Amino acid sequence: QHPLMSDLIYYPAKKGDDEPENILKIVKEWRRSQGLPLFKDSE
């Protein structure tokens, strides 16, 4: 599952969103908003 309903290839909307920590943040925010579980070691 991906926030933009795409593959694991990620094309950021904004400069800087292609950094690993920002990609993880975006995915976590989307999963929270959808009521989906996060990663095992996440809050």
Per-residue pLDDT of the chain (43 residues; tens, 9 = 90+): 655 666 666 677 788 888 889 888 988 998 899 898 887 766 5
Domain count, the chain: 1
pTM of the model as a whole: 0.61
> Which helix (DSSP H) or strand (DSSP E) does residue 29 occupy?
helix 20-33
Does 43 reside within a domain? no
- pLDDT for the residue 35: 92
Domain, as residue range, for 1: 1-35
Q: How far is CA 14 from the centre of its chain?
A: 14
Rounded distance between C-alpha atoms, residue 10 and residue 18, angstroms: 8
Does 11 reside within a domain? yes
- pLDDT for the residue 40: 76
